[in-house]
Chain A
Amino acid sequence: MTDAEKVDRLLAILERTGLGWIATQLREHIRTGRTMIRVEPVLKGEAVFIGDTHDIDEVDQLPPRASLEAVRDALSVVTVDLAAMEAEVNGFFSARVAGFQGIAFEAEPMDEAKPFRVAPPDPDREGHRENVRVALSKLVEPGGTTSGA
């Protein structure tokens, strides 16, 4: 499945499951060609459905509410869980490595993965994470969803 196909599938799922507001914003990013770093992984569909791309097919076949819950869970992993892991990793190693300047991931020459860095700790993000948790939990509550943007 190409990135474009993943995006199309993801957008279709979002629209069908009451998360059309996200789909609309993503489409706008695509249409204008603006690089929005924070939503780029979502655009690729990979960060929302980490792992086997068949996950997208499976979610696609779920009934609407279950599909919505799957999207909610996926967003929770890529926002709340990863941010919390990053904070823990930063805290753990900064306490043990003298002059710690961060963690870098570098690809071997034959590895097509892209390098990245774990960002420095940001104390504001714990508050953001809690807000995301609350908002995500409300998404699947009765009356907590919208019919799309």
Chain B
Amino acid sequence: MALEDDLLAEIQNNLGAAIPVAGGTATAAWDLFEVYLLALVVRAAEVEGATVSFENVDGSTPTTLVFRTSPGQIWSTQNPYSHVVLQFPGKDALEGHIGLRVAGKSKVLHEFDVCVLRRSEAVIARAQRVPPRSSKVVIGVECKLYTTPLKLGLAREFIGLKTDVSASGMFFVTNTFSASVDQLLTARVPHWDQNVTPAAAKDVERFRNSCQTVFKKYKAR
């Protein structure tokens, strides 16, 4: 069989499950990348001693984890959206969400692809139907899944976002690489990671270690 036939067969074998069964938009790929990064953040918390549990917006315990396809309000009950609860011994619990709208310093709502915030803030926000404050966010991750090198404008947008949020750990994470983005973010923000994919163990570990450092500081406060 020719190389091309082999390749097509293998691509078809892989695409079937990795890409949405219905709809067929790239949104599903982005969503999957966000959940992948959430898993890495949760793993970092575990390594730092957190116990992990899962909860739906109505307080029930999920067997199917339901996440948003785009950022929404934390109190939304349109679907039984799920979140992770992280409990460090002797500390206030944290919650990890996918796709959350969070109020910045200016009161403008910003979208966090992955968001770990204080559970006390999340509980109040759900009860009062108000967006959580960025000052209560421990880790916020801007996820960029691309097949081509990132454009500089995306890094500029992230730098702009960071000026209006007071989260302790704001990360810019992408699966690809761009030298100019690398250079700009190095000069302007503390946390950024490129090439984060399962095949890049070193880059994945670096991101996870950065998250661990943020959790270490949270525990020390």
A contact residues vs B (CB 8 Å cutoff): 21-22, 25, 37-44, 46-52, 55, 58-59, 70, 73-75, 77-89, 92-93, 96-109, 111, 113-119, 122, 124-125, 128-129, 131-132, 135-136, 138-139, 144, 146
Contacts and interface: CB of A to CB of B under 8 A. Distances in A.
B20 interface: yes
Interface of B: 2-4, 6-8, 10-33, 35-36, 39, 42-43, 52, 54, 61-70, 72, 76, 78-79, 81, 144-148, 151, 175-176, 197-199
Given A103-B67, A108-B72, A114-B22, A21 B28 contact: no
Given A41-B25, A70-B148, A113-B27, A102 B17 contact: no
A97 B29 CA distance: 23
A85 B25 contact: no
Given A88-B36, A105-B67, A78 B23 contact: no
B47 to A, nearest CB: 13
Nearest to A46: B26
A66 to B, nearest CB: 11
Given A78-B147, A105-B31, A44 B18 contact: no
Given A21-B4, A43-B24, 13 more contacts: A40-B24, A41-B26, A50-B30, A55-B147, A81-B197, A83-B17, A101-B63, A102-B65, A106-B69, A107-B69, A114-B24, A116-B28, A132-B10
A82 B33 CA distance: 8
A114 B64 CA distance: 18
A132 B13 CA distance: 10
